[in-house]
Chains A and B, each alone.
Chain A
Amino acid sequence: MKKVRVAFFDFSCCEGCQLQVANIGDLLLDILEKIELVEFREVMSERGGDYDVAVVEGSITTEHDVKRIKGIRQKAKVLIAYGSCACTGGVNGMKNNFDLEDVKEYVYKDRADWFNTVPTMAVDQVVKVDYYVNGCPVYPPEFVKVLKCALRGMPYKVPDYAVCVECKFNENECMYDKGVTCLGPITRAGCNSWCTNNGNICYGCRGMVSNPNKNGQKEVLKKYNIPLDWIMNKFNMYNKAKEGQQV
């Protein structure tokens, strides 16, 4: 059987999601038996050639990025948006809270005009995306699941229920009961409530569920006396680039 040709590409990001691939240990070797890795700049010098599946990490933040991602989309039969930066804009989106000129000047001072930067965009704000692996970083078991679906041409649907569902299964004490604001009630599950399992809150890195229980959430906020803009500011950390849009 001809192996499916897979290429990894990175845009504006920390490259941590690519590294998650190297962190799955021996399982990686099993995957490599099924696919042919044709491009993966972070760990390979081989490049070029055609590919069937493009795994795209990072968000689109320059005009050059826009051209490049369009080129990748043209070549790829299947495109997987990989990680929060690609799926929702991720932390890069916080740039959109500011005027771009101000952001450039703050970091690069009198060299600010050396840059071209555009407001942060998720990959699907520029080209069509076939599969999503949400999360900052991606949750490796979910990536393997998505890859299997992509290789077989089967659909994968990111869970559209709240992180709370998984958190309850994991028998964690509710953060709200500890007096702490948590984004679990409005964030898409699929990470096995990774952060709350470890005593931290959910920061909403997987994007909002399509039908959040708004009234329920408002009641919770009222009960604990938490202002709405506080929650929205927190949710902005990963989702600013997709503000007002369905994830």
Chain B
Amino acid sequence: MPKNVKVNVEYLTRVEGHGNIVVDVQDGKLKECRLDIIESPRFFEAMLRGRSIFEAQHITSRICGICACAHSLVSLQAAEDALGVKPSPQTTKLRKLLLHQELLDSHILHIYILVLPDLMKVKSFVPLLETHEKVVRRALKMKKCVNDVCEIIAGRHIHPISTVIGGFTKLPSKEDLKKILSMLKDLKLDIDATVELFKGIKFPEFERETEYVALVSDDDEYPLLEGDIGSTDGVRKHKHKYKEITNEFVVPHSTAKHTKLSRESYMVGALARLNLNFDKLLPRAKEVARELGFSVPCHNPYLNTVAQLIECVHCVDESISIVEEFLENGIDYSEQVVVGLNENSVVKVKAGWGVGAVEAPRGVLFHNYETDQDGRIINANCIIPTNQNLNNIEHDMKKLVPEILDKSEEEITLLLEMLVRAYDPCISCSTHFLDVEFVGRKS
């Protein structure tokens, strides 16, 4: 039945940053379908120019409050690549442990606080306090637990302190490690309870096959901190060639830079990672996937939330085994780094160019720096997962809207909001989004 539908969600809530959804259907035909981004641009790349490469991590972690650790880790990787510094195996392992906490923290926030209210048909976690107090308490406890672990490893979760070029300015004591281990074991029980909760929850049915992009590697480890960039369409490239992956372009009438690779759009994030690397998950995570009825390839973007939950299972198990290994083999405290604008000249500065590619909670994240002979940044580029997903979200919306036209405008709006939220967009991160004023926009 021909139908007119106008959806205009202003200031989309329960996402990080500011965005609008605009859909316009006339006589049953889709005229317009956009996710507008209205975040104030912050110009990080421009501000980095002239700063010391040793400050890059500190500054760029401030791009995002949710994935500050991922920005920090990718920044260090890019800086070390430019300076020719190779981190020690101990440093790499500690960084992996930190990145696992990052995924856990962000996924828990997304699953419980941002997505669950939709599935429970309420507007936020606040009404859930009345109806599902235990669930909310568990979510807050889990978040605090991961935060406490981060606090021990890196000083704090939001804007880590001890992560610097060359390693860590503070290393955990044996007591610290024991504390982390017991917290993680506690967390594991809560994640199991989360899995039980999600067994009874139904997600919207919708499928659109796209290209999935994530880090890939040749070893058996589920790649998060290191690797080449791969896709389900058979692309594989070294991180130095990240621009050949993202191919940023500007679309007329769109307000943001989009990306594409082998087809009209691609997706990054937990679902993309599972579609590429499911076999490398730890056994318990694979088992949970089966219990939740999830299998790859999976082309339903709403299930990105389930993919995140499966990754939580993997990350907590992997974290436990890293900590157990540290407890068994001990930590080499001589590796502790003294910070500073390299005033002690431990790391020689030089002119260089480096790239970092790390799996942030929302997908693969790139930083690229060029430095002069004094170690000052002359050029910087950051490409954020949400930028890469935006084009894919719009293509999903274009396929989804005609399929749900028989529903009420309220239901259509909710399904669209849920779709965008499933990607867990981190709009304040998206340094490349453009900011425009919209006619009729309220504030």
Contacts and interface: CB of A to CB of B under 8 A. Distances in A.
A47 B339 CA distance: 44
Interface in A1-36: 11-20, 22-26, 28-29, 32
A114 B41 CA distance: 11
A37 interface: yes
A143 interface: no
Nearest to B123: A45
Given A28-B140, A43-B124, A195-B161, A67 B428 contact: no
A179 interface: yes
A68 B147 contact: no
B59 A200 contact: no
Contacts of B337: 199
Interface stretch (A57-65, A157-165, A211-219): A57-65
B364 interface: no
A26 B140 contact: yes
B128 to A, nearest CB: 11
A104 B431 CA distance: 12
Interface string B31-58: 0000000001111011101110001001
B437 interface: yes
B243 interface: no
Given A14-B428, A16-B68, A26-B137, A95 B164 contact: no
A37 B66 contact: no
B47 A43 contact: no
A109 B361 CA distance: 29
A130 interface: no
How extensive is the interface on chain B, given as a class?
35 or more
A200 B64 contact: no
Interface stretch (B9-17, B179-187, B193-201, B291-299): B9-17
Contacts of B64: 14-16
B124 A115 contact: no
B140 A25 contact: yes
Contacts of B437: 64, 116
Interface in A140-155: none
A132 B160 CA distance: 23
Nearest to B48: A94
A42 B41 contact: no
Given A44-B13, A45-B13, A107-B431, A179 B343 contact: yes
Contacts of A12: 40, 42
Contact of A13 (B46, B125, B162, B428): B428
Contacts of B65: 13-19, 137
A94 B126 CA distance: 37
A97 interface: yes
A136 B62 contact: yes
A232 interface: no
B85 interface: no
Interface residues of A, number: 70
A92 interface: yes
A229 interface: no
A23 B157 contact: yes
A21 B20 CA distance: 25
Contact of A200 (B42, B47, B339): B339
A103 interface: yes
B124 A65 contact: no
Contacts of A14: 62-65, 68, 428-429
* Consensus secondary structure, chain B interface: loop
B432 interface: yes
Interface in B224-242: none
Interface in B124-150: 124-126, 129, 136-137, 140-141, 143-144, 147
Interface string B154-165: 111111011010
Given A17-B65, A95-B43, A200-B339, A137 B432 contact: no
- Residue with the greatest number of chain B CB neighbours at <10 A, chosen from A15, A47, A64, A106: A15
A111 B250 contact: yes
Contacts of A203: 58
Nearest to A114: B434
Contacts of B50: 97
Contacts of B123: 44-46
A65 B141 contact: no
Contacts of B117: 45
B316 to A, nearest CB: 18
A41 interface: yes
B129 A42 contact: no
A176 to B, nearest CB: 10
A43 B340 contact: no
A23 B147 contact: yes
Given A15-B428, A114-B436, A92 B42 contact: yes
B7 interface: no
Nearest to A203: B58
B443 A68 contact: yes
Contact of B143 (A22, A37, A42, A47): A22
A194 B55 contact: no
A25 B155 contact: no
A201 B340 CA distance: 7
B169 interface: yes
Given A24-B144, A46-B124, A195-B155, A107 B162 contact: no
Please name the 7 residue pairs, one residue from A and one from B, whose CB atoms are nearest each other, closest first.
A16-B65, A199-B169, A25-B144, A198-B155, A180-B340, A44-B124, A94-B47
28 contacts: A13-B428, A14-B68, A25-B140, A25-B143, A40-B124, A41-B11, A41-B18, A43-B114, A43-B124, A44-B13, A45-B117, A61-B40, A65-B40, A71-B443, A94-B59, A102-B46, A104-B43, A106-B46, A107-B45, A108-B434, A114-B436, A117-B40, A137-B159, A178-B338, A195-B155, A199-B337, A200-B164, A203-B58
Given A41-B18, A117-B435, A198-B162, 16 more contacts: A22-B140, A26-B140, A29-B137, A43-B125, A44-B124, A44-B125, A91-B62, A106-B43, A107-B43, A107-B46, A111-B250, A115-B435, A137-B65, A137-B158, A197-B155, A199-B337
Interface of B: 11, 13-18, 40-43, 45-47, 49-51, 55, 58-59, 62-66, 68, 109, 113-114, 117, 123-126, 129, 136-137, 140-141, 143-144, 147, 154-159, 161-162, 164, 168-170, 250, 255, 336-341, 343-344, 428-429, 431-432, 434-437, 443
